Amino acid sequence: MKLTRIFAVAIATLGLAGFSGVASADAAAGKAKFEAACAECHEVADFEGTSAADITATLKKIVAGQQKHKTALKLTDAEIADLAACLSAGK
Give the nearest distance from C-beta 69 to ligand HEC in angstroms. 5
* Shortest Å distance, C-beta 19 to ligand HEC: 24
CB of 2 to ligand HEC, least distance (A): 47
- Looking at the chain, how many residues does it have? 91
Q: Which residues are near ligand HEC by CB under 6 A?
A: 37-38, 40-42, 55, 58-59, 68-71, 73, 75, 83
Angle at alpha carbon of residue 61, lines to 19 and 49, rounded to 5°: 50
Q: Among residues 13 and 51, whose Cβ is nearest to ligand HEC?
A: 51
Q: Which residues contact 31 (CB under 8 A, 6 or more apart)?
A: 44, 86, 91
Q: 18 vs 61, which CB is nearer to ligand HEC?
A: 61
Phi first, then psi, for residue 76 (nearest 5°) are -80, 165
